[in-house]
Chain A
Amino acid sequence: MTQTLAKHGWTLGLAALFAALLILTKMIQPDFGLSGLDSLGRAALPFAFATAAMTVVVLAGGIDLSVASMMAVASVTGARLMDGATETEAVWIVGFVLVVGLCMGAINGALIVFTRVPDIVVTLSMLFVWEGTALLILQGPEGGCAVWLTNLILGGLTLPLLPEGLTNWLPKSVVLVIVVLGVIWVPIRRSKLGLSIYAVGSDPLAAYRSGVSLGQTRIIAYALAGLLAALGGLSLTMSTGIGEPIPGPYLMASVAAVVLGGVALTGGKGGLMGPILAVFVLRLVRMDLTLLSVDPNVTTIIEGTIMVVVVMFGGLLALRGRIR
């Protein structure tokens, strides 16, 4: 029991912080309710997928600077193809965009593994490559989006056979993040692939000696990141209804959430829950500061300060644990 507590301590701490922030929000804005949660959920959606993508590569001991650009490619690909397409065709288009994401990630990974150029250099270069690709597909924010996709993240959850009041306080967007990430990550985490990702990030030599194929694992980790980034890009199109070729602020935000989520940038340590919670914490902080009509420039200062303080605090706790 104490072991599990220690293992998930960071995540639980973040959950508590999030709950405290929700209460604070309710105090600032007494009529904060479903619509507030809904807009928070939709704002957090692309950040959550970008962070999930970053988390997977960081766990495997790497980093992917091209996350935001891959999201842009996925967003414009989806928007351009869905422009004028029927609702059923859109299903195939979603599948196609996800495959595109998987391929972009796999290309990143393969370049890193085969050229042996450091990951940070390769993905920095690919940031520009994917950015250009996105602009080739769409010159400006345009295109379309299937209605069922837009509805997927609009409003509260209603389930058949259950009274509406029981579930409709839960924004669909949040449920979507949880379900999609759960479906992708949980089976992987429990498989040998998941172990290999952690092993490669934790100690590559020991992993190699345990029979793990380093190159293969790294490529798969980057491909997964590409897939998750494509989901992020699709979620952008879903919430705006169009494609956006210019990458948004998702790169730095995802690194921030990874760090705040208790994942070691050196790899091998942490999980997906922490970073996703961190996304919501950071979004909620921003929302509260907006509600308090704080100067947007001060907002970023406060966000940065929170990150440093929380990570320092966590480091201090870890240090104390080690000394004892």
Chain B
Amino acid sequence: MTQILPRSPLLNAQGVSKRFGAVAALKDASLSLAKGEIVALMGANGAGKSTLVKILTGALRHDNGQILIKGQDRRIGSPRAARRAGLVPVYQEPSLIPDLDVRDNLRLGDTPVEPFLHWVSELGLPDLRLDAMIGRLPLASLRILDLARAIAAEPDVLLLDEMTAALPADLVDRVLTVVRAQADAGRSVIYISHRFTEISTLCDRATVLRDGVTVGDLPIEPGIEERIVELMLGAGVASAAQSRPPKPRPAGQKPRLSVRGLAAGTKLTDVSFDLHAGEVLGVVALEGQGQDEVFDVLAGARKSLRGTVLVKGEPAHFAHPADAIAKGLTFVPGDRAHALLMQRSVRENIALPLLARLRNWGPIAMAAEGARVGAAIERLQIDTRAQGEVRRLSGGNQQKVTIARWVAKGVDTVLLFDPTRGIDVRTKRQIYDLVRDLADQGAAVLYYTSELAEIRLACDRAIVIFGGRVVDQIEASAASDAHLMRAAYGLTEKDRATEKDGATA
């Protein structure tokens, strides 16, 4: 018989740490949750949110620290164990089996059908058929089914990871109402979202992570957004890194790439921007705001729903990656493994795009190739081993190869998706230099980065995407981390809207 003291936490994680090899994903994370409380878990990209979520739900094991559930020390070994401990998550991606119907999915997870149907209709999908195949339902419905399934399991703690990201506005309202009612009925909720408006209407407290450490735990009150942004950024806010002087753009020049009102998938709703020759345009966005879709569409890997893309002033339509390449758009994916032939040499990897240009079906022109590649390798500073297999290089050097090959070839437009993720500082600098080389050669570069400081280091200008729309445009020299972070959370747009209101009033 345990006495539950008032305010005694239902879930209390203290000093949780987790390393992946040499990288510490979590150093000292803490999170506590009282009965009936909704706590927002906040943090910039890479702060350790998803690692903490995985530990709490049994997908990963923590190295150190303590997780107390109802006062008992628990090590959660699997999702099933998490469920037994009363902790039910709703993950970012649907976790229903696509080839089974709704009823079988419920049986699989031992979810009672009646309460499930009750919550589904409560959440705004009254017409759901139990024999509907999961694989044929739209994404938004799947998110609702996931949530209804979680609530029907009557958990003590509900963990919602970006629950509303793929939902239309009316369903979002339903979800928020239901979640609030769940909390009022005594369930606790951990709520992860990039949307400050949802957090300020729904949550009681916010726990902020930065670099794997819990740096703040504050009650939600009006104006708390600024404080949370500061906490997420940490002490480095003021230290402005060396920035580049704004570059004068020749007037009257047509933009190399012009995107208007682009929409694709469920996340990308309305993105417009111009990209000029010789320019590096940064893209800032929190995870899953539609930036993946922008790059996919421009690379020809995904069809757009609406909007136009003009290349050098002429409308372009990409049905296939080959179309985009033919128009001079080169996509360098964030995952290096997708861009390189890992088992071939550095030399061959750099030469590959060149060969396509030399149109050599016959013998390879060794001399021409050798000269260009040699120059590229020198530029790369991958010291030696240029004859060695690419997979033996470090991640940073591999990334250099992916970019250097385009320097060697010379390209019109390059789409770089988070090129410096997981790379050491020294190599990062070299990558910035390579990107600058590309731009100086006259290439237009679109540069998505998950690291705000890179906007000043590598870009001329930046656009900020939030909720599938461009919400801000900033000259790189004026882009402080704080400003970018606030913009990425959609906070500057609100300022501007209120300013406008003030002006009209």
Contacts and interface: CB of A to CB of B under 8 A. Distances in A.
B108 A195 contact: yes
A202 to B, nearest CB: 4
Nearest to A207: B97
B98 A268 contact: yes
A209 B108 contact: no
Contacts, number: 60
B108 A210 contact: yes
A72 B293 CA distance: 53
B94 A206 contact: yes
A212 B108 contact: yes
Interface string A206-228: 11111111000000000000000
Contacts of A211: 78-80, 83, 108-110
Contacts of B107: 192, 195
Interface string A1-25: 0010000000000000000000000
Nearest to B105: A210
B108 A268 contact: no
B221 to A, nearest CB: 35
A269 interface: yes
Of the listed residues A201, A207, A210, A269, the one surrounded by the most CB atoms of chain B closer than 10 A to its CB is: A210
Interface of B: 59, 78-80, 83, 89, 91, 94-100, 104-105, 107-110, 131
Of the listed residues B59, B95, B97, B109, the one surrounded by the most CB atoms of chain A closer than 10 A to its CB is: B97
A208 B95 CA distance: 9
Contact of B97 (A3, A192, A206, A213): A206
Query: Chain B interface mostly helix, strand, loop or mixed?
Result: loop
A202 B89 CA distance: 21
17 contacts: A3-B131, A192-B108, A195-B104, A198-B99, A198-B100, A199-B97, A206-B94, A209-B59, A210-B79, A210-B95, A210-B97, A210-B108, A211-B78, A212-B108, A268-B97, A268-B98, A268-B99
Nearest to B104: A195
A202 B131 contact: no
A87 interface: no
A173 interface: no
Contacts of B94: 206
Contacts of B96: 206, 210
Of the listed residues A195, A206, A268, the one surrounded by the most CB atoms of chain B closer than 10 A to its CB is: A206
Contacts of B131: 3
A192 B78 CA distance: 18
Q: Nearest 9 CB-CB pairs, A to B?
A: A209-B95, A202-B99, A211-B80, A268-B99, A206-B95, A199-B97, A210-B109, A202-B97, A195-B108
Contact of A195 (B78, B91, B98, B100): B100
Nearest to B95: A209
Contacts of B59: 208-209
Given A207-B108, A211-B108, A268-B98, 5 more contacts: A206-B98, A209-B79, A211-B78, A211-B80, A211-B83
Contacts of A91: none
Contacts of B99: 198, 201-203, 268-269
B497 to A, nearest CB: 39
